[in-house]
Amino acid sequence: MLLEFLVLLSALLAWAAFPPLGWGWLAPFALAPLFAALRRVHTRRGAAFLGFAFGLLFYGSLTFWMTIIGFYVTVALAVVMALFTSIFATALWSARSWEPVPWALTVTGLWSAMELLRARFPLGGLRWGDFGYALADIPWFRYAAKYVGTSGLTVVTVAVAAGLAVIVADRKQPWQPLAGAGAVAVFVALAGGLSMESSARATLQVAVIQGSTPCPGAHCANENVLTFERHLDATSELEADRYDLVVWPESSAQYQGDPVTNPERRDQVAEQARRLGSFILIGTSRGVSDTEWINANVVFNPEGEIIGEYQKQHPVPFGESVPAREFFDFIPDIARVPRDMVPGDGPVVFDLDGVTMGSVISFEGGFAEEPRQEVLAGAQFLVIATNESTYLETSAAEQFLRMTRMRAAENGMPVVHAALTGPSALIDANGTIKEETSIMSEGQLLGFITPRVGDPTMYTRFGEWLAYLAIVTAFVAVLLQRRLTSEPSTASEAEPIEALT
């Protein structure tokens, strides 16, 4: 029962490290009980069960807000995520009797490999629950994302947790793994804290229109038109010749409000662009057939002309698109997604009179790759447009805002986070929120941003390099363990090490 209690404690602490509580400092302490239990479990089957139980409890509680859109899909997601931690635990069981240092390195590498796979598979992956995001409110670690990315901060967190687990699980209480991981953590934090992005003179004045919707969390008559008109009215209240960029969030001008297919709506937006002398980015959706639709950011120039659009590349599985739909028709939640989103072809950047803007849409902001590709294509700042009205006042919006803050910190450039029902935020190049609106409200977010000038950050250039290094180091640890003992690296089930009890 003690091992099961450790896993339960680990899942509870892991949940607390993320919003709604958001106690990010708990992250390494959260994983330590799980790792200690896996170092002392007797059988491979027992390890698989402990890993699955942790994943089901942690990911299920973290994303419980998804039950608003579908109970069955939420449960299925938690089960799939739990399979990842179960496979991780099963693989780690083979190393349970290894020396502390090789074991801790193996834990870190295996977890890093699991996270890289979880970010890509299945169906495009999921990054919710990546422990690097738990550090978003800890300034110096967040600043260090420009070097190692969110995935690198996860590596550091897991390494410290593995060091703590060795102390808990081993009677000799060897401090070497914790000392080494702690030294790396201190170095990463110092590197971040001593190299903050400079706050140069602001060059762009931005207005985010958070017009909300007449029926958050539901659908109502004439919703698309009313939502468009709310944003148009709020834009008409802005002072002329003051703003360089006006941003409407995702779903603010969809279907009947789409300015690309509806000439009346296009003329109304164009009139405001000319009046304001401003670029306007609008989040829109449009159908392309009875079975397909497009989710896009459309950009108007100050002359009222549409200069292009970015089409979302990464649909939400079972939210915007249903893969292998014919096999899932029996699930009641599928009826909520009658058409599938057509993915865009790649990054698109926009020249705003000498300053280059990149944009992504909602779910994509929770991943590092799509925003990073926008930056590699030349973006000097990012707009992340989102519609989270379905989730009302749950922790979904705050969890996502932590993710977009890390996009700013990773790429060393400001992010305009525009949410239909809030919170919207202006985020500086260090991932610090400079201005923010309230959730489930209407309003205008007005402020300045400083587009990045200079070379890309280390993370932008090299991506998930620290995570891959951790995987390589784990492989080296396996070789090291073989040198340290004459026994095979995989212990026999007939020779389990002592339980904690």
CA quadruple 415, 421, 422, 426: dihedral positive or negative? positive
pLDDT of residue 237: 96
Collapsing DSSP to helix, strand or coil, 102 comes out as helix
Residue 211 predicted with pLDDT over 60 = yes
Of 335-344, 420-429, 471-480, 490-499, which gets the smallest average pLDDT? 490-499
Q: How far apart are CA 260 and CA 253, in angstroms?
A: 10
Q: Which residues pair with 358 in a beta bridge?
A: 349, 382
Of 354-368, 386-400, 448-462, which gets the smallest average pLDDT? 386-400
Nearest to 295 by CA among 204, 223, 374, 359: 359
Model's pTM, two decimal places? 0.92
Mean pLDDT within 29-39: 97
pLDDT of residue 495: 43
What H or E segment, with its residue span, contains residue 3?
A: helix 2-16
Residue 360 predicted with pLDDT over 80 = yes
Quick one: pLDDT band at residue 124, thresholds 50, 70, 90? confident
Residue 379 predicted with pLDDT over 60 = yes
Q: How far apart are CA 342 and CA 227, in angstroms?
A: 23
Q: Which residue has the higher pLDDT, 220 or 376?
A: 376
Q: How far apart are CA 335 and CA 331, in angstroms?
A: 8
The pLDDT tens digits for 240-260 are 999 999 999 999 999 999 999
Q: Which residue has the higher pLDDT, 198 or 415?
A: 415
Residue 422 predicted with pLDDT over 90 = yes
Q: Are 177 and 101 in contact (CB under 8 A)?
A: yes
CA atoms in the 13 A half-sphere facing the CB of 49: 11
pLDDT of residue 166: 94
Q: Which residues pair with 247 in a beta bridge?
A: 208, 281
pLDDT of residue 295: 97
pLDDT of residue 497: 42
Of 18-22, 197-201, 472-476, which gets the smallest average pLDDT? 197-201
Q: Are 40 and 96 in contact (CB under 8 A)?
A: yes
Contacts of 62 (CB under 8 A, 6+ apart): 14, 15, 18, 128, 129, 399
Q: Which ranges constitute the DSSP H helices of 237-362?
A: 263-276
pLDDT of residue 489: 44
Average pLDDT over the chain, rounded to an integer? 92
Mean pLDDT within 407-420: 97
Mean pLDDT within 308-312: 97
In the chain, pLDDT over 70 holds for what percent of residues? Answer: 96
Residue 331 predicted with pLDDT over 90 = no
The pLDDT tens digits for 442-499 are 999 999 999 999 899 999 999 999 999 999 999 999 888 877 775 544 444 434 444 3
Residue 41 predicted with pLDDT over 90 = yes
What H or E segment, with its residue span, contains residue 199?
A: none
Contacts of 361 (CB under 8 A, 6+ apart): 250, 283, 295, 296, 297, 310, 312, 384, 385, 386
pLDDT of residue 435: 94
pLDDT of residue 199: 65
Mean pLDDT within 185-211: 88
Angle between helices 145-169 and 100-118 (to 10 degrees): 130
Residue 126 predicted with pLDDT over 80 = yes
Q: How far apart are CA 12 and CA 339, in angstroms?
A: 37
Residue 28 predicted with pLDDT over 70 = yes
pLDDT of residue 200: 64
Q: How far apart are CA 68 and CA 103, in angstroms?
A: 41
Q: Are 146 and 459 in contact (CB under 8 A)?
A: yes
CA distances from 288 to 85, 264, 292, 378 (A): 39, 19, 6, 30
Mean pLDDT within 427-435: 96
Quick one: pLDDT band at residue 271, thresholds 50, 70, 90? very high
Nearest to 466 by CA among 111, 186, 36, 62: 111
Tokens of 66: 């998804």
Tokens of 116: 């890289």
Most confident of 114-118, 175-179, 386-390: 114-118
pLDDT of residue 426: 98
pLDDT of residue 336: 78
Is residue 400 classed exposed, middle or buried when 0-12, 13-18 and 19+ CB atoms within 10 A define those classes?
buried
pLDDT of residue 480: 81
What H or E segment, with its residue span, contains residue 359?
A: strand 355-361
